[in-house]
């Protein structure tokens, strides 16, 4: 027998030893590990191992770690997001519209506690609010839709300044921006001051609207934002006491051939499909609303004349 053991490389004691399962052999270690894990579920391996040492247990850390992994007590580690190196660039002041836009997200909650987000876009030249998209979920595809609506009305910027959020890094949005000639300038991670224009707008939007009112649903948020955005672009003194729309029009008058035409107002009055013929109800559709409020009221009253049951009008600012 001894000669046979030597041939196969097996000791005589190992041949006669009764096999014991790993769970039975490590039963003491399992019981000792369950005590600190039960009291502190978020403790990692080394915290548990140090607790065992303080209790006088002298097991090797490799054995304890093997049992720790067998019991699937490993804590999920948050991996670091790998980003390409971002170069710090100065915050330049654009000399004309559509040269540089800024975009960012704002998060808030309804009265019932449901979270929602707003996607804000502004022009760095005159600090004009170009779009505020509101929903519970805003993906890269949704961003493409927002810029797709802005393109026929306002055009696209040469450069879009944004942070390193997953929406701006999504393949759909990056590919669409590259196809349409819009360069994306990413700021350095953890440096929101490099996107100061939109951060300042976010603060104003939160202080003057989101933090001032309680909203029951997204429709209320969208309606309040709609009217607040009109006042922000038409009445608020953005730069040297001048409203964003005023700055845009003055810049266009100085060099009309180099810049797109100023915003225009398109109004159409159509009878509502569910309204009886006796009492006609008109719906006002407006696009690019930056227009003097008095002019808008006068135009609206003129269009309400009985002869204008279906009328389309276009008025330049």
Q: What is the pLDDT of residues 91-149, one digit of tens each?
A: 777 788 888 999 999 999 999 999 999 999 999 888 889 999 999 999 999 999 999 99
Average pLDDT of the segment spanning 291-299: 47
Kindly state whether residue 195 falls inside one of the protein's structural domains: yes
User: What is the CATH classification number for the domain harbouring 209?
Assistant: 3.30.420.10
Q: pLDDT class for 13, splitting at 50, 70, 90?
A: confident
d(Cα 101, Cα 116) in Å, to the nearest integer? 23
CB 273 within 8 A of CB 284: no
- Per-residue pLDDT at 205 exceeds 90: yes
Q: pLDDT class for 231, splitting at 50, 70, 90?
A: confident
Element (H, E) at 106: strand 100-109
**Cα atoms in the Cβ-side hemisphere of radius 13 Å centred on 174:** 10
Kindly state whether residue 95 falls inside one of the protein's structural domains: no
Do 117 and 38 fall within a single domain?
no
Do 121 and 176 fall within a single domain?
yes
Beta strands in 142-236, from DSSP E residues, in sequence order: 159-162, 183-186
**Residue with more model confidence, 239 or 281:** 239
Q: How many domains does the chain have?
A: 3
Closest to 131 in 3D by CA, of 101, 171, 170, 93? 101
Do 110 and 149 fall within a single domain?
yes
- Per-residue pLDDT at 297 exceeds 60: no
**What proportion of the chain, given as a percentage, has pLDDT over 70?**
72
Q: What is the pTM of this model?
A: 0.59
Do 222 and 269 fall within a single domain?
no
Domain of 158 in residue numbering reads as: 100-254
Do 268 and 188 fall within a single domain?
no
Q: Residue 98: left (phi > 0), alpha (psi -120 to 50), or beta? A: left
Kindly state whether residue 85 falls inside one of the protein's structural domains: no
Q: Mean pLDDT: which of 213-222, 228-237, 273-282, 283-292 is highest? A: 213-222
- Per-residue pLDDT at 63 exceeds 60: yes
Do 62 and 164 fall within a single domain?
no
């Amino acid at each position: 027998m001894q000669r046979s053991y030597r041939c196969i490389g097996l000791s005589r004691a190992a041949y006669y030893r009764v096999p014991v399962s790993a769970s039975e052999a490590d039963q003491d270690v399992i019981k000792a590990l369950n005590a600190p894990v039960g009291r502190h579920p978020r403790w990692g391996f080394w915290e548990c191992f140090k607790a065992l040492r303080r209790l006088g247990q002298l097991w090797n850390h490799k054995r304890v770690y093997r049992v720790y992994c067998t019991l699937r007590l490993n804590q999920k580690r948050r991996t670091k997001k790998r980003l390409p190196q971002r170069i710090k660039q100065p915050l330049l002041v654009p000399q004309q519209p559509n040269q540089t836009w800024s975009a960012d997200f704002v998060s808030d909650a309804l009265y019932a506690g449901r979270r929602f987000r707003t996607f804000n876009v502004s022009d760095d030249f005159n600090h004009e609010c170009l779009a505020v998209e509101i929903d519970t979920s805003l993906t890269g595809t949704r961003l493409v839709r927002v810029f797709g609506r802005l393109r026929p009305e306002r055009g696209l910027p040469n450069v879009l300044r944004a942070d390193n959020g997953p929406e701006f890094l999504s393949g759909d949005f990056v590919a669409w921006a590259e196809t349409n000639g819009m360069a994306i300038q990413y700021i350095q991670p953890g440096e929101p001051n490099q996107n100061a224009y939109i951060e300042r707008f976010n603060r104003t939007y939160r202080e003057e609207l989101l933090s001032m009112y309680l909203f029951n649903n997204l429709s209320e948020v969208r309606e309040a934002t709609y009217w607040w955005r009109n006042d922000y672009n038409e009445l608020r003194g953005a730069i040297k006491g001048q409203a964003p729309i005023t700055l845009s029009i003055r810049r266009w008058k100085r060099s009309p051939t180099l810049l797109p035409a100023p915003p225009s107002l398109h109004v159409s009055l159509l009878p509502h499909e569910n309204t009886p013929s006796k009492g006609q109800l008109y719906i006002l559709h407006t696009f690019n609303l930056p227009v003097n409020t008095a002019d808008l009221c006068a135009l609206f009253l003129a269009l309400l004349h009985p002869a204008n049951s279906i009328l389309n009008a276009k008025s330049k600012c």
